[in-house]
Amino acid sequence: MKPVSEREAQEAVTTLLRFIGEDPSREGLRETPLRVVRSFQELFGGYATNPESVFKTFRDGGEKVDEMVIQRNIPFFSNCEHHMLPFFGVAHVAYVPEDEIIGLSKLARLVDVFARRLQVQERMTNQIADALVKYLKPKGAACVIEATHLCMVQRGIKKHMSDTTTSALRGVFLEPATRAEFLRFTQQGPRVPIF
Ligand SMILES: [Zn+2]
């Protein structure tokens, strides 16, 4: 695919402004195409990030841990690929190490790598679990995502309080005891409000 210049992207935003009935030349909108393109570069920065880069620095960790490592309530913001509207909430990410561990902050970065793309929640959940399996080679990996989709609450069927939960379980997390322990962790304690 031919790369799109920033200028072409700004022109596309100007076209959309006209499409919704706006006057792109009025003062408040004059800088809007530039700002939208800049914010897109940040919101969709995940395309330019190889998930492997999140793991690199911990390749030589060497610690021997064989208990479940779990990071709960990692906040994220993504955009659905069907409407290009935000969905957001929390991810719970866990793994059982084989012989390498990853810094806990890296789990949040991993979530961001996949959140900052056009997504469906189901794929994002799988991608996080699969990246852990691929790059960390743990005994197992798991991800649960709880999210609210603005395409559901702001438009269409307007289910204001609805949220969506997806899960991906790999390796030892498919065993009933490990799965139950993980899901119990994700459900206990204070919960981050999902609007
Ligand atoms: Zn949507």
Sorted by where each begins, the domain ranges of the chain are: 6-43, 58-187
Q: Which residues surround ligand 1, an ion (CB under 5 A)?
A: 80, 82-83, 151
Q: Is 83 exposed, middle or buried (0-12, 13-18, 19+ CB in 10 A)?
A: middle
Instruction: Give the Cα separation of 103 and 95 in Å (integer).
Output: 12
Q: In tens digits, what is the pLDDT along the chain, a chain of 195 residues? A: 889 999 999 999 999 999 999 999 999 999 999 999 999 999 999 999 999 999 875 555 555 667 899 999 999 999 999 999 999 999 999 999 987 888 889 999 999 999 999 999 999 999 999 999 999 999 999 999 999 999 888 876 666 667 889 999 999 999 999 999 999 988 876 655 554
- Point out the catalytic residue in the list 71, 119, 146, 149: 149
- Point out the catalytic residue in the list 6, 31, 52, 81: 81
- Point out the catalytic residue in the list 6, 8, 52, 82: 82
User: Phi and psi at residue 86, in whole multiples of 5°?
Assistant: -65, 145
Q: Is 141 exposed, middle or buried (0-12, 13-18, 19+ CB in 10 A)?
A: buried
Specify the pTM.
0.89
Instruction: Give the Cα separation of 71 and 50 in Å (integer).
Output: 21
80 is catalytic: yes
35 Cα: distance to centroid of ligand 1 (angstroms): 23
Alpha helix positions (H), 30-120: 32-43, 52-55, 104-115
151 is catalytic: yes
Instruction: Give the Cα separation of 39 and 77 in Å (integer).
Output: 13
126 Cα: distance to centroid of ligand 1 (angstroms): 18
81 is catalytic: yes
160 is catalytic: no
Q: Which fold has domain 58-187?
A: GTP Cyclohydrolase I, domain 2 (3.30.1130)
